[in-house]
Homo-oligomer: A and B are copies of this chain.
Amino acid sequence: MNKIIDVTELCLRDAHQSLLATRMALEDMVPACADLDEAGYWSVECWGGATFDACIRFLNEDPWARLRTFRQLLPKSRLQMLLRGQNLLGYRHYEDGVVDRFVDRAADNGMDVFRIFDALNDIRNIRHSVNAVRRNGKHAQGTICYTVSPLHTTENFIEMAERLVELGCDSICLKDMAALLKPQPAYDIVSGIKARCGEGVRVHVHTHATTGVTLVSLMKAIEAGADCVDTAISSLSLGPGHNPTESLVEMLEGTGYEARLNKACLRRVKNHFATIRPRYQAFMSNIHGVDTDIFDSQIPGGMISNMESQLKQQDAEDRLEEVLIEVPRVREDAGFPPLVTPSSQIVGTQAVFNVLMGRYKVVSSEFADLMLGYYGKAPGERDPTVLALAAQQAHKEAIEQRPADLLQPEWEVLRAAATALPGCDGSEEDVLTYAMFPPVAPGFFASRELGPKYLGVDPKAAVAKPGASGAEPSPLRAPVTYDVKLNGRSHRVSVTPISE
């Protein structure tokens, strides 16, 4: 008897977030839902901060309506979302009452599995969301952000898993957002969690494909006892995305493990996304193939492009090398936070400041907050000199408590502000949309009734599905002009292909 390996399909959330700048519109997902629902996945990830943001910022699409659509079209499937703990889907800490209402509404609208993480792995930022999910009778998945630093030992990750289990999490996720998880650490951490927390504790593993090694890491995690792994259908996989679902299925043949997915469904899902992917050409990631430099630099690719554009704005593109050397120093000063949104941007920007203006001559307010504990507790000791500088420049004290403990109840304030906006329908969902993205929500509320749109997406770029009736790829019609010399005389000849 093979052990069944569960699979979470990422194509509706992280895959297009990683490959197509989160731009995929609901109407391009709908045709795949029936097959996704029948394929036999453990869960279908379909919601998160960036997809919520892109809905209201670019697509004029109500993210709550999107969730309800998924609930309707995927009746057999567990719907899964990524939740940034006390940050929910936004970029600041929310007061517990907002967290409660967000989780209640997400659960009511159809969410089943909440994968909850904190960028600093500060468990205090995860606790309240976990409780809210459990109160709703839904699946609370406690998440460990995998990173590499002198402090992030296997033992350290196993201890965090223990604490997540104590919190009452229904499962543990080892989340490797930067493709840094090599096979042996994957094996060691997963088997360590199983040994410490018990074989019955479900362990899920999320990796990206960027470095090219992580399908091997998934194999090792499975050998170590992982219960579920995350993959994306092959036509939305690889590069900065994820390992292909179909490859996982095939990889396991004969190993004693089995991902019991319906191959005919997978093939149709693959073909669907292969067909619509060209529409998003303008948003496609430039990263192809693999990049293993990140193992040495510890700096994710997305973070480098951020820093490059910051340097460019200052006419200082030639100083990137210095910034790349500065990043690990800044990270160490800050107590080795994992480099993931938002800590990656905060550390990167401070490294740019340090190179351009001298070390900590100017401290960004976000970096000051990071140093002073306003994002939570850093994994390690922070540099006392830099800490003092941050306090001085930000005119703030360092804090030790959970950041959200400093917040006053804010639901009524948010509700008043949201409901005053033209187009707000007064629902708790709308208040939450406003709470998550205050600068973006007003425009969305005002334009919502126009309905979803392909903003910036060229639907004509779609390649016709083979066998699809009616749709014909447009023939090459552009004339090419040559300068042709014939018997010594120059002729201007225009050649236009003629379709037959």
Residues of chain A at the chain B interface (Cβ within 8 Å): 182-185, 188, 211-213, 215-216, 219, 234-235, 237-238, 243-244, 246-247, 249-251, 253-255, 263, 267, 288-293, 295-296, 482, 484, 486, 491, 493, 495
Contact = CB atoms under 8 A, between A and B. Distances in A.
A124 B182 CA distance: 43
Contacts of A212: 215, 234, 238, 243-244, 246-247, 250
B255 A183 contact: yes
A250 B184 CA distance: 10
Contact of A219 (B219, B247, B249): B219
Contacts of A238: 212, 238, 289-290
B484 A289 contact: no
Contacts of A491: 486
Contacts of A484: 484, 493, 495
Contacts of A495: 482, 484
A114 to B, nearest CB: 30
Contacts of A185: 254
Contact of A246 (B182, B292, B486, B493): B292
A250 B292 CA distance: 8
A500 to B, nearest CB: 12
A247 B182 contact: no
A253 B185 CA distance: 9
A294 to B, nearest CB: 10
A290 B216 CA distance: 16
11 contacts: A183-B251, A183-B255, A211-B247, A212-B238, A212-B246, A212-B247, A213-B251, A234-B290, A234-B291, A234-B292, A244-B292
Nearest to A219: B216
Contacts of A253: 182, 184
A491 B495 CA distance: 12
B219 A290 contact: no
A209 B234 CA distance: 13
B250 A182 contact: yes
A319 to B, nearest CB: 14
B250 A211 contact: yes
A254 B486 contact: no
A482 B495 CA distance: 10
A12 to B, nearest CB: 18
Contact of A290 (B211, B237, B267): B237
A230 B182 CA distance: 20
A482 B486 CA distance: 12
Q: Which 8 A-B pairs have the closest CB atoms?
A: A212-B247, A184-B254, A246-B292, A213-B251, A184-B255, A213-B247, A216-B219, A244-B290
Contacts of A295: 250
A255 B482 CA distance: 58
A52 to B, nearest CB: 27
Given A212-B215, A215-B215, A288-B288, 13 more contacts: A182-B253, A182-B254, A183-B255, A185-B254, A188-B254, A212-B234, A212-B243, A212-B250, A213-B251, A234-B290, A244-B289, A247-B292, A249-B292
Contacts of A289: 234-235, 237-238, 244
Contacts of A213: 215, 247, 250-251
B290 A246 contact: yes
Nearest to A484: B493
Nearest to A184: B254
A219 B249 CA distance: 17
A134 to B, nearest CB: 36
A292 B266 CA distance: 11
Nearest to A253: B182
A331 to B, nearest CB: 20
Contacts of A235: 289
Nearest to A483: B495
Contacts of A188: 254
A212 to B, nearest CB: 3
Contacts of A251: 182-183, 213, 216
A306 B143 CA distance: 49
A215 B248 CA distance: 12
Contacts of A250: 182, 211-213, 292, 295
A263 B237 CA distance: 27
Contacts of A493: 484, 486
A3 to B, nearest CB: 14
A484 B480 CA distance: 12
Contacts of A291: 234
Contacts of A296: 263
